[in-house]
Structure 1
Amino acid sequence: MNAFERHGVEHLSASSLNLWAAQPALWIMERLLGRKAPTGIPAARGKAVEHGVHLGLIDSAKPIDDCAAEAEREFNRLTALAGDPRRDEERPKIGGYVRGALVELRQYGVPDAYQHRVEIRLDDVPVPVVGFIDWRFSDHGLIVDLKTTERFPAAIGDPHGRQGAVYASAHGNFGMRFAYAKPAPGKKEPQQVRVYEMSGDDVRRHLSALRLIALSLGRFLALSNDPCELAGVIVPDFESFWWSDPAARAAGREVFGF
């Protein structure tokens, strides 16, 4: 068995590799020790907005306000046990994200795939990398991923680029686009959604980075078969936003001892 399989890691994902690159202590706590942190408020916001937008994409006659209301209900469900104080700040914004995103994405028509599982292989990495696309619009040859944000990025960041590279690699000649949605238009920037498309060079660069991150993780896992021993050589950064939920910090202190 390879180092991944010895630790029960049967596959990787861009999000898992991004987490290893950004917060290895949290990766160990969640993926090796099974101490899952609650769904973070930004992640719950994204999932809830995506849910409402999808309802409006598959039914073009569905009122946008109804889609927004469904998204708010989904956000409440996902965050019911969250202790993060940002929950109350984010809830009123959910509808705005949905309204802006639907105005943009309904131009693409009805998607023919949603949350479709894809799988790729990276050279020298013994387990596959899997992912789930947001929407595929085959009539346009496009994969579209929706991101919620308070401020538009100047370009697709590396974590999102790695995610998009997996989707694009699994879909041959399809284009890969990210739609960044804000909760409301800004005073200086009236647009509510900004769309970026990855180039072929972007895809290749991010696939190369994913491979190197995966190889790094494999070398780390090969150091020991004992997850607790591996946890003992990593120090968490509890000041990072990754640990913003009180339950996550409490679990981290139990695992890492401080």
Structure 2
Amino acid sequence: MYPSIKRSNKLRQKLDLYGIEHLSASALNEYITDPAKWVLRYILKHKGDGPSLWRGRAIENAMKNCVLSNMAGSEYEIESAVETGFRVFEESEKDFLIARGGEIPSLYSERRDKEISYIEPSIRAGYSYFKEIPSAIFQKKFEFDLGVEIPAIGYLDFLTPGKIIELKTAKSFPSELKDSVRRQVALQCKALSLPAEIIYLGKPTKNKSHEGFRKFEIPASDIESLVDDYRMAARAIRRLLMNTDSVEEIIEFVFPNYDNFLWDDEEIEVAKQYWKFAA
């Protein structure tokens, strides 16, 4: 058992300096998976955007509208859900292109076409499940104390009276949940004292290994140890910030693994501007 941390105003000053108000599950997972990507996103403030994020946003909005129609007692046919998905994707793309002055990254069209091809089959795969949910709260905020100076904050995709529903959209389905997802949902369960279902939506496979829908749950016995992983990650982030006095020093503590598939071409290009040796 690690000792309790004596909370310090010094860390609060560091957090204010870097504009970090809280720790999210995604931030903690980022640090666990690749500390250099965490530095790029949360210290250097390079926040990626692109077709894969728009796909997720599009599908989630369509599923949200399914539940909203149930709450309103109105009709919402599957074709309307598909139209919602495409509209949300296209609106996100428009904002992205305007922000870039029309300039697009290399291979953009190929990636865009691939991501948008998953929207309709994913929505069709999830429609029946979400039409059975009579009511829900969307993006419910929660906080949890991980034992450091700032809280972990998260937002629930769907909160029903009896359970949490975490929606994942994916181009390929896992046979079992990744630890990053298990940690994320375990924190939600711990904070709200509720069970959760993790719903994966995607494109049905040609060999029929799945129909574009898969549901997972996390055993209650696993929750505490998964949350403990976040407690340790929060301490690691705290130690990094407490032991450095500048962005330059933080950069020297980590180094990107560009072979990791999680790094896209744009992120690599930006990162190489910071992680370079100048004699």
- Does the TM-score normalized on the shorter chain lie above 0.5? yes
- Equivalent AA in structure 1 for residue 275 of structure 2: F
C-alpha separation in 1, matches of 2:128 and 2:206? 16
C-alpha separation in 1, matches of 2:15 and 2:192? 30
SS in 2 for 1:196: strand
Runs of 4+, deviation exceeding 6 Å: none
C-alpha separation in 1, matches of 2:10 and 2:86? 43
Per-residue deviation, 1:6: 1.1
User: Is 1:29 aligned with 2:52?
Assistant: no
- Equivalent AA in structure 1 for residue 192 of structure 2: H
Q: Deviations over 1:34-64 (max 9, x none)?
A: 232x224433321221011111221142111
SS in 2 for 1:11: coil
Tell me which residue corresponds to 1:18: 29
Tell me which residue corresponds to 1:3: 11
Between Structure 1 and Structure 2, whose CA radius of gyration is higher? 2
Tell me which residue corresponds to 1:253: 272
Q: Find 1:86's aligned residue among 111, 135, 148.
A: 111
Tell me which residue corresponds to 2:219: 199
Per-residue deviation, 1:75: 1.9
Tell me which residue corresponds to 2:132: 107
CA contact (8 A) 1:39 1:78 kept: no
CA contact (8 A) 2:255 2:275 kept: yes
Q: Deviations over 1:74-131 (max 9, x none)?
A: 22333444634422111122111111112122223221x1011111112x32210000
Going from structure 1 to structure 2, the CA distance change for 1:206 and 1:42 (only over 3 Å counts) comes to farther
Q: Find 1:65's aligned residue among 68, 75, 79.
A: 79
User: Is 1:116 aligned with 2:140?
Assistant: yes
1:104-253 pair list within 5 angstroms: 104-111=129-136, 113-122=137-146, 124-138=147-161, 141-172=162-193, 174-184=194-204, 186-244=206-264, 246-253=265-272
User: Is 1:51 aligned with 2:52?
Assistant: no
- Equivalent AA in structure 2 for residue 177 of structure 1: E
CA-atom RMSD in angstroms = 1.9
Going from structure 1 to structure 2, the CA distance change for 1:190 and 1:129 (only over 3 Å counts) comes to closer
Per-residue deviation, 1:190: 4.8
Going from structure 1 to structure 2, the CA distance change for 1:199 and 1:5 (only over 3 Å counts) comes to farther
CA contact (8 A) 2:55 2:118 kept: no
Structure 2 residue ranges without an equivalent (≥5): 1-8, 98-103
SS in 2 for 1:151: coil
C-alpha separation in 2, matches of 1:192 and 1:219? 42
Q: Deviations over 1:114-152 (max 9, x none)?
A: 011111112x322100000000110xx110011112333
Aligned residues: 251
CA contact (8 A) 1:104 1:193 kept: no
Per-residue deviation, 1:257: 2.5
Going from structure 1 to structure 2, the CA distance change for 1:2 and 1:65 (only over 3 Å counts) comes to farther
C-alpha separation in 1, matches of 2:45 and 2:23? 16
CA contact (8 A) 2:203 2:211 kept: no
CA contact (8 A) 1:7 1:225 kept: no
Going from structure 1 to structure 2, the CA distance change for 1:129 and 1:2 (only over 3 Å counts) comes to farther
- TM-score w.r.t. structure 1 length? 0.89
CA contact (8 A) 1:100 1:182 kept: yes
CA contact (8 A) 1:125 1:214 kept: yes
